[in-house]
Structure 1
Amino acid sequence: MPSITFTQPDGTAQRLEVEQETTLMRAAVSNGIDGIVGECGGQAMCATCHVYIRPEYADALPELGADEDEMLDCTAAERTERSRLGCQISTGASLPEIIVDIPAGQV
């Protein structure tokens, strides 16, 4: 079963086991992870699921799409080279585990 670990700005982490093809946003919202809201329901239209991807997982992610790229310019916290929208990243065979950091400006 895939796992997602959400790390808060204070360093506390919560590891979730999720079903295949679960998005980071859906896992966070369903489990009450602070700092992830998912206002648009996963349509890459609100940036309330902004996370920082740990570098060791970057190669397993899908390419940044135009809509996601545009929304990342609207995040509450600083956009960095590690920024992605959690609604655009799903667990699965190519991503059986991931650790992400929640930006301080969202908590």
Structure 2
Amino acid sequence: MKYTSVFALLAAPVFADGPVVENVTVDGDRFSVTLSHPDTGWDHYADGWEVLDADGNSLGIRELLHPHETEQPFTRSLSGVIVPEEATVVYVRARCNVDGWSDELFEVVLTE
């Protein structure tokens, strides 16, 4: 499925030290996610993000294998994300190696 436009809305308040999803773009099965996080090195950094369907089921996880303390915000992509054809919205959440998954969900409204 090809999406020609994507609208994203922040669904929860921003917390100072957690990873924040700044932007999401979708091109077919490829999700590109821009994150910000006050990475301090290997001891505390954003280490992943996940695409969820409206029921909270995981559609794909992108692991981040190193800190990005000098590259903020940063964008990483994941291909092969299969979004059900009937889906009109998905959510992206971020994770850090200290605090785990963020409660903050970034809503991505899908349009054809």
TM-score by length of 1: 0.31
- Higher Cα radius of gyration: 2
Which structure exhibits the higher relative contact order, with contacts defined as CA atoms closer than 8 Å and separated by 6 or more residues? 1
Structure 1 or 2: more strand by fraction? 2
Structure 1 or 2: more helix by fraction? 1
TM-score by length of 2: 0.31
